[in-house]
Structure 1
């Protein structure tokens, strides 16, 4: 649902929603600058200069999409120039916010993409490793949770995840990462589902999570596709409708495990 940052779109971004709590600090002022007429790359770069007064320390600077040379891969351009091509609209707006909050992790993802490109070259199809990297970049969430809750989530044992184990969500922290996921949640729908990566540390700050996550990501882990699936609006306290058991009795959203028997490891 690509959309420019028009007044109507801005009105649709409800910064008070739980899933945007980690993004409001950067996102709201940048959105207001765009509304005032500043091009989106320039508005993002204002925050870059605030966060990294020494421009040499900034992970990237944002440039118009037209700056991406014809025939050059997006990830290759970022790696070589530290310039991130940016379109006007929600998708790249949230991508910019993720760069601002998770600079180490985004840089690590870029590095992993480049390792795969060096190995296999640029092809019409990304291949399994780069596909998994892209899934994480676009649609990941990171969850710190007790073992029993994580195990039930991996098993898609929804009655336990959101029923018997519901109190354990108070001991858990979920942070959304994927910029496409954040974009979709501007217009919340019940089927929106995150690919969840398990945090092995208690999430106490975004900076701390960024440092840990950048060190945890590896090609081998991505090859194993260690994601659990989580319909985001099912998270207790995140959506009024999920206060009743009936909300979860929707097999089109809270799906049964696949018959493949694939196991997801605790990453």
Structure 2
């Protein structure tokens, strides 16, 4: 399967082709121009910008650097690395912003709310641009907490399971891979779309292997729903009370029909080390 025609890159293929011949600094400038052209904004109302992160010395992935999320919320600036170690990861993060702007802004606002609460003597969770920077400083050494952990997990490794067939969703939640991808294969092909949302997931898919497992987030929408409408519905679904381990469904993405030529053989799903059995409680209401 050609990397540029892989189904998980479909929402990004045109932009990736335009960016391919450019050096990392030029890519950041083009990404920033696209954000301006698209009118992307944070939930604090700031116009979104991609800015080159050229700080010297070893750095962590952008999404776990202490003030990263607060800087986005307060100033609209997404620090984007240009060094060989982090450029690809941050490129996929930028592309995710361009395709899923409302959902990415919602995740950022969840981080900002927790950071603001950490800085507030009352523990209020209404993040504002004025409190974001102070919050980041106050929370630098603090525990992230379950909401920020869940938001980060989503941001890095989520896959969207788009479909109206609840029996297929039930099979996904029940780890019933035979019912889902063997007996139900034609129905999945016809009535489900899977989108790689997480930018770390996209980075792993640069060199795909059988055991790559995403955290699937089911959305009950028609499979052919336009991506812009999926984005808005996804943003509405990202409520603090819903985000958590019960809402995610482990999904070995190489098992998705069309994502791997080898999965045409039903025996592909017999690998219990990848397609594990498990128990799943109903998702939160």
Q: TM-score, normalised by structure 1?
A: 0.84
Partner of 1:3: none
Q: Distance in 2 between matches of 1:201 and 1:64?
A: 36
Residue 65 in structure 1 maps to residue 65 in structure 2: no
Partner of 1:263: 281
Counterparts of residues 1-267 of structure 1 (less than 5 Å): 14-34=3-23, 38-52=25-39, 59-66=47-54, 73-88=67-82, 89-120=87-118, 122=139, 123-145=141-163, 146-169=165-188, 170-203=190-223, 204-223=225-244, 225-257=246-278, 261-265=279-283
* Residue pair 1:40, 1:87 contacting (<8 A) in 2 also: no
**Unmatched runs of 5 consecutive residues or more in structure 2:** 56-61, 120-138
- Give the RMSD, CA atoms, in angstroms: 2.5
* Residue pair 1:45, 1:61 contacting (<8 A) in 2 also: yes
**Unmatched runs of 5 consecutive residues or more in structure 1:** 1-11
What CA deviation, in whole Å up to 9, does each residue of 1:198-243 have, x standing for no partner?
Answer: 1122242111111111111110001464001111110112211001
Q: TM-score, normalised by structure 2?
A: 0.79
Q: Distance in 2 between matches of 1:73 and 1:52?
A: 24
How many pairs are equivalent?
247
Q: Distance in 2 between matches of 1:196 and 1:266?
A: 15
Evaluate the alpha carbon distance shift between residue 112 and residue 247 of structure 1 in structure 2; reply closer, same or farther with a 3 A threshold.
same
Q: Distance in 1 between matches of 2:182 and 2:209?
A: 21
Q: Secondary structure at the match of 2:154?
A: helix
Q: Distance in 2 between matches of 1:13 and 1:100?
A: 23
What CA deviation, in whole Å up to 9, does each residue of 1:134-157 have, x standing for no partner?
Answer: 110001111123111110111101
Q: Distance in 1 between matches of 2:40 and 2:237?
A: 28
